[in-house]
Structure 1
C-alpha cells in the first residue's frame, strides 16, 4: 500500500480510503492519477484485510473531470506537425482505453465502493461519483456533464448515467450541461445521503464500516449479482439470481462441514 503525490491511501481498520490529491487542479484526472486510482482499486480488491473502499477528493472539489491541459496544441509544421498529430491521436486513444478501464473496474471488483463527493464533480468526475456503489454528497456538490458546451461528448461516462436515472433526466443532464446540486442528485437517485461537507467523509467511512462487517463472499456475490441483473430481461435475471442462490447455499454448507 503506497500513496503517491496524486493519490493518498489510508486504511481505517477494514476500510481503505482513496483520496484524489490534486486540489490545485480540482483533482482533475491526468494520466498519473488515473493510473494510480485504477491500480489502487485493484490492489484493494486483492487485499483480504480490506473489506470496503471509500473514494474522496482533497481540497474543495471531488473531481473536475479530465485534465485537458495534459494534451497541448501543435505549433510545428510539416513532418513534425504530422508526427505530433499522430502522437497526440495515439495518446488520446490510450487515454480513452485507460478511462474506460477505470470506470469499468468499479463494477468488476468485489469490494463495495462508497463515494464521498463535494464541490465540483464534472464530466469524468461525475462519472466516478456514479461508478461508486453508494454516494454520500456534501451540500456543496455540483454534479454535471458540461462536455457538449465545449463541443465534445460525455461518451464514456454516459453508460453509467443512463443506467442510473430515467432517460429524460439523463438526456437533460448531458444535453443542457446544467449541474445538479446535492439535493437534485439525491432526488434523481444519484446520491444516497446529503450531509454537511465537514461530515461527508466520516459519513462515507461509517457506511463503508457497516458494509465491511458482512461476510466477504456474500458481499462479493451480492455485488456481482447486482451488476448482472441490472440490465438483464426479467427471466434471465431470475435465472442468474437462482444460480447465485444455489451457489451460496452450497458454499455455506461446505463451510459448515469444514468446521
Structure 2
C-alpha cells in the first residue's frame, strides 16, 4: 500500500470524527462522536487540531465556528483511552498530554476568530475548548463544568484557561466540587456572550462569525493577537504594545 493511500485512508477516518462545512467565509467545525457525547479521544483531538490549523491557513476562511454533533457539545476526555496511558508507556502519555495542551491553547493562537456554539454537556476538556474560543454562545440546556475530580482525575490542562476566565474562588469551586453551571449563570459571570434556545444557537453563532467575516482580515488578526498579548503584560508594556500596533495599522491604512 502506498504512502498516499495510507494518508487518504487516515483523512477519511478523521472526516468521520470531525465534520467541516463552509458558510461563505465562515467554516464550521463539528465534533462528530455523538454516541460518545463527542468525547475527545486521540483521533478526534488530532483531527480538531489539524482542522483549526488548516482553516487558519486557508485564505478563503475568515472566521470559525466550533460545535458538536448531537445534543451535547463535548463530554471532555474519552476516559476509555486512559487504560493504555500508563507509566509503562511514557511516550504515549507525554504525546497525549502535549496534544491535549496544544489543542486547548490553539483557539486563541489562531489568526482568525472562533466562536464556540455549545448545546448540552460541555465538561472537562470540552468546557476548556468552549471557553478557549474568542466568544461563546450557549443553549438554554447547557451543562458546563469540570467533573474530573469525581473520577479521581486532576483537571490539570484546563485549569489555566479557567483561572484566566473567571475569579479564583468560583474556579476552585468548579474544579474541586464539580458543580455544573447553566446558561443564566454562564451569561451572568461573562463566560457566555449570548444565550439562545437549542434550535437557534447555531444560527446565532453563524451570525457572530459572519460579522467577523465582514471585517478587514488583516485588522481583525492584529486585533486578536494584540488582545491576548496585552492580557499577559504589565500595564505599561501593554500600552507600548498597543502604541506600536496602532502606528503599524495606521501606516497600513495609508
| Structure-1-length-normalised TM-score | 0.90
Deviation at 1:232, TM superposition (A): 1.4
Is 1:49 the equivalent of 2:60? yes
Is 1:86 the equivalent of 2:88? yes
Distance 1:85 1:65 in 2: 22
Aligned length: 243
Deviation at 1:73, TM superposition (A): 6.2
* 1:135-150 to 2 correspondences below 5 Å: 135-150=136-151
Distance 1:209 1:192 in 2: 15
**Which consecutive unaligned segments of at least 5 residues does structure 2 have?**
1-10
Contact 2:87–2:93 (CA under 8 A) maintained in structure 1: no
Distance 1:85 1:229 in 2: 39
Aligned to 1:249: 250
* 1:1-259 to 2 correspondences below 5 Å: 4-72=15-83, 85-87=87-89, 89-253=90-254
**Secondary structure in 2 aligned to 1:19?**
strand
Distance 2:216 2:87 in 1: 51
Segments of 4+ moved more than 6 angstroms: none
**Secondary structure in 1 aligned to 2:138?**
strand
RMSD: 1.6
Distance 2:245 2:84 in 1: 51
Distance 2:241 2:84 in 1: 49
| Structure-2-length-normalised TM-score | 0.92
Contact 2:65–2:115 (CA under 8 A) maintained in structure 1: yes
Q: What are the superposed Cα offsets for residues 40-76 of structure 1, whole Å, 9 maximum, x if unpaired?
A: 00100011110000000001100000001023269xx
Deviation at 1:222, TM superposition (A): 0.4
**Secondary structure in 2 aligned to 1:11?**
strand
Q: What are the superposed Cα offsets for residues 61-115 of structure 1, whole Å, 9 maximum, x if unpaired?
A: 00000001023269xxxxxxxxx7522x322211110011101211111100010
Distance 1:158 1:73 in 2: 24
Decide whether aligned partners of structure 1 residues 41 and 73 sit closer, same or farther in structure 2, where only a CA change above 3 A counts: closer
